[in-house]
Amino acid sequence: MSTPPPSVAPRNLTSLVDTVFLLVFSLLALSDVRSQDAAELVRVELPGVEPGDLAHPTPARRVVLEVTAGAEVRLDDAPLATRAELDRALARARGELLPEELVIDIEADRSARQGVMVELLQHLRLAGFVHVRLLAMGAADALDPARPFGGVR
């Protein structure tokens, strides 16, 4: 019996194959296969914009919330002590309208605590009202343009 001739191939080809694959992958990843001509042929057609009415539709109804100097919130001269009362009063004033269709003006006394207005603004925002304006009300000279903010001369 004769023994088979010794193999000429190396016994561990795994490391050699792994190295070749890494080399091929690196060359493919780092090479730029796009030609310059192909990049110039791509054209994008953007849609045209036609002039239109940019004004938002005016909300249908206006509600005035008053904040007194003592930080009391009122709607139509009725005091609203809790957020639930405020929600019920706004639902009655809103009727069938969506919150986005209602303008809410907060007429706050200049000497009222600002924390009340911030809580009120946040509550209205979370309830879905988007047209909310805060107006500072106070003495007649509050509208004087020469008067600095805060009332100090």
The pLDDT of residue 47 is above 80 = no
SS3 79: strand
The pLDDT of residue 153 is above 50 = no
The pLDDT of residue 132 is above 60 = yes
The pLDDT of residue 53 is above 80 = no
- What are the two backbone dihedrals, phi and then psi, of residue 51, each rounded to the nearest 5 degrees? -65, 140
* Predicted pLDDT at 76: 82
* Predicted pLDDT at 24: 92
Domains recognised in the chain with CATH numbers: 61-139 (3.30.420)
pLDDT digits (tens, 9 = 90+) for 77-125: 888 888 888 888 888 888 888 888 888 888 888 888 888 888 888 888 8
Cβ neighbours for 66, distance < 8 A, ≥ 6 positions apart = 73, 74, 75, 106, 107, 108
* Predicted pLDDT at 152: 47
